[in-house]
Amino acid sequence: MKDFQVGYASVDITPPLGSAINGYYVPRYAKGILDPLTASALALTLGEQTVVLMSIDNCLFSRAFVHRCNKAIEKATGLSGDRVMITATHTHTGPFCEPTTMFETDDAPILAYGEFLVSRVADAVALALDDRHPARMGYIVGTAPERVAYIRRYKMKDGTTMTCPPVDDPNIDHPIGTLDQRVNVLRFDREGAPTVILMNYGLHADCVNGELLSPDWPCEMAKTLEKALDGVKTMFISGAAGDVGSTNVHPKDGDMNDTEISFDNEMKSPGMARFVGRALAGTVLQVYDKVKYVPVETLDIVKREIAVAANVPAPEDLPRAHEYKRLHDAGRDDLIPYTAMELTTVVAEALRMCRLENGPESFPMDLTGVVIGEVALLGIPGEPFTDIGVGIKETEGYGLILPCALAGGYEGYFPMQSAYDEGGYEARTSVFRAGVAETIVKEGCALLTAMKDL
């Protein structure tokens, strides 16, 4: 039997104070550090095959940025970038690593941070490869507790659809969709080295808000687990969370403890991130000792490019889009006749329309399949809706499947066909035409099925 080995490393990637913060369509600049940001790497080796999984505390990065990281990894380690899956945790209190058009800001420090981040990503991979030890793998699925996650798209009583409506808005009728409360847990026990937990769950890392740098709730989960379990390291990869947030629109009892309603109508604060992180750590602790250990006799990674149709605007919608973009770029959002999440929606929609005014008609997209024995991961380069993750998990032939969001770059939201019919922030702002979610499920399942037969 080939020896299965696992290495782990985590490096600090915290930027300087004053760095522009990504996550919203309003300018924010780091005034403090709630917790350090990190880039974590998990190196897996079976015989001649090596695969590296990465989790980076950043909101998002482009396909081109991932290619830069892959080249740096190859130069530093000799490992092909095709053997690495890079994901972002999607924290909304981390820095830009590439220039932005969301608001006016200085590109120079952003470019400098991007160079720093590329080098640190390569460092993390090199350290993880050097840290490899003989290991065994186990897996289990837990169930998230109540009050942690909520579908954030709602049908309103007036027939409209709204993402993140105001808390206790009397116009709210019902959420559109069903949560997938499965918490995927991979456990790697290593000889003479700390055990590594890889946790995968579909929930936005957007609880903190403000201008303090923070990895958000995944960091709180990691701190809780590593304090509770001796000799354990943790890593988080986001699941299908495009339509999932942490706000209860009908709070009761102690739901508002240590939190507040943010500018975009959501429950956010460092205390909210602490609650969510601790609650999900509790889920992991409940199942940690009961993982199913399985032999790892196969290990592989395959990246497949697909083409998806672009959400090109209708000509009659462009004049208003250009006007909203002009006002937004001038810092005059107050002249756009919307507030809160509705303002965010129309601004993001206008930026999408202006971006696609002259095409293209389609975009290339990379899907990444990883097989570790009877466990599979599917990397999706953006924010898939919950039902995409559910569909991917139905691929036959595996004991556990982890849908991995923001993997290999960021291409935006991937709403289901029904969401385009209903409206709301995600569908109105997506650069992809209706049908993108169903294409991802079809192509993703086909990729994992083909890998099963390798």
**Mean pLDDT, consecutive 10-residue segments, the chain of 454 residues?**
89 98 94 98 98 98 97 98 98 97 92 98 98 98 97 95 93 97 98 98 97 98 97 97 96 95 91 98 98 98 96 96 95 93 92 96 95 98 97 97 98 93 90 96 97 81
Centroid of chain to Cα 254: 28
**SS percent in the chain: helix, strand, coil, step 5:** 30, 30, 40
Asked whether 137 and 187 are in contact (CB, 8 A), the reply is: yes
Reported pTM: 0.93
pLDDT at 454: 67
CB-CB contact of 388 with 357 (8 Å): no
Nearest Cα residue to 125 out of 64, 81, 62, 189: 81
- Max Cα-Cα span within the chain: 67
b/e per residue 393-429 (b: at least 16 CB within 10 A): bebeebebbbbbbbbbbbbbbbbbeebbebebbbbbb
Which residues neighbour 20 within 8 Å (Cβ) at sequence distance 6 or greater? 27, 28, 29, 30, 95, 96, 100, 105, 106, 109, 110
Tell me the two tokens of residue 239.
Answer: 């699941």
Contact 173, 250 (CB under 8 A): no
The tokens of 72 are what? 């740096």
Residue 401 pairs in a beta bridge with: 376
Q: Output the pLDDT for position 1.
A: 43
**Alpha carbon separation from 389 to 173, 200, 238, 340, 394 (Å, rounded):** 25, 11, 11, 29, 9
**DSSP secondary structure letter of residue 314:** P
Give dist(CA 287, CA 38) in Å, integer: 26
Q: Give the count of beta carbons closer than 10 Å to the beta carbon of residue 29.
A: 12
Who contacts 91 (Cβ-Cβ below 8 Å, separation ≥6)? Answer: 23, 37, 57, 58, 59, 205, 206, 208, 214, 215, 216, 218
**The residue type at 382:** G
> CA 18, CA 96: separation in Å to the nearest integer?
12
d(CA 438, CA 201): 21
